[in-house]
Chain A
């Protein structure tokens, strides 16, 4: 079983829509959780960390459910510039990070 699993999409949504991505991780010893954004042919960039209490950064909200080993990302009022691949990332021990395959989002005018 993969360390991190994501629905690859693609998700095609109109501008202004709300879209949610989900991710599950297999190892209950996972300690830290992140969402990264990757634009086409570019490197991944940290979007936000994910905490059990949930956290929000502008239009983005991340949630972690440790009991279900489930992470989510909600994007409200989608913008064209949100089009990218969103990578779910978990850190189990040391500094090794495990990446999902990414979820592709296209926001349509």
Chain B
């Protein structure tokens, strides 16, 4: 049973560029949430997708956008990258009802 898979694992981008990160949820999960984790900090909620719509959003600018596909996989897009966007980006999947998230291993983004 595949867990949550994210790609790529590492990425280096230049300030001002755009990036797309991808996530496939765990089998049986229909909800995908994205988190940003800066060094030494806990994960910060970016947004959550369910039924191909953004259901909730954290305190992130519009430069951060996303999408969920009919197969429940998801993309996170970040435009006009800033140095401060350098972080570990975590995708977590879940299903409706109580229970914890399952996290992917993350994409480590470095903006130079």
- A residues with a Cβ closer than 8 A to B are 4, 32, 34, 36, 41-46, 49, 87, 89, 94-102
Known: A43-B106, A46-B100, A101-B42. A94 touches B48 (CB 8 A): yes
Closest to A104 in B: B40
Taking a contact as CB atoms under 8 Å apart, the answer to whether A94 and B56 are in contact is yes
The smallest beta-carbon distance between B33 and chain A, in angstroms, is: 7
List B contacts of A99 (CB < 8 A).
Answer: 35, 42-44
B window 17-64: CB within 8 A of A? 31, 33, 35, 40-45, 48, 50, 55-56, 58
The smallest beta-carbon distance between B56 and chain A, in angstroms, is: 5
- Chain B interface size band reads 20 to 34
Contacts A44-B43, A89-B100 supplied; 5 other A-B pairs, CB < 8 Å: A4-B42, A34-B100, A46-B100, A46-B101, A96-B58
Instruction: Describe A's contact surface by its main secondary structure.
Output: strand
Taking a contact as CB atoms under 8 Å apart, the answer to whether A97 and B42 are in contact is no
Closest to B35 in A: A99
List A contacts of B88 (CB < 8 A).
Answer: 41
Taking a contact as CB atoms under 8 Å apart, the answer to whether A96 and B56 are in contact is yes
Taking a contact as CB atoms under 8 Å apart, the answer to whether A101 and B48 are in contact is no
In the assembled complex, 20 residue pairs joining A and B whose CB atoms fall closer than 8 Å, in A order, are A32-B98, A34-B100, A41-B108, A43-B105, A44-B90, A44-B103, A49-B99, A87-B42, A94-B55, A95-B31, A95-B48, A95-B50, A95-B55, A95-B94, A97-B33, A97-B100, A97-B101, A101-B40, A101-B42, A102-B42
B66 within 8 A of A: no
Q: How far is the CA of A46 from the CA of B30 in the complex (A)?
A: 18
Taking a contact as CB atoms under 8 Å apart, the answer to whether B104 and A43 are in contact is yes
Taking a contact as CB atoms under 8 Å apart, the answer to whether B103 and A43 are in contact is yes
Known: A94-B55, A95-B48, A97-B45. A43 touches B31 (CB 8 A): no
The smallest beta-carbon distance between B71 and chain A, in angstroms, is: 19
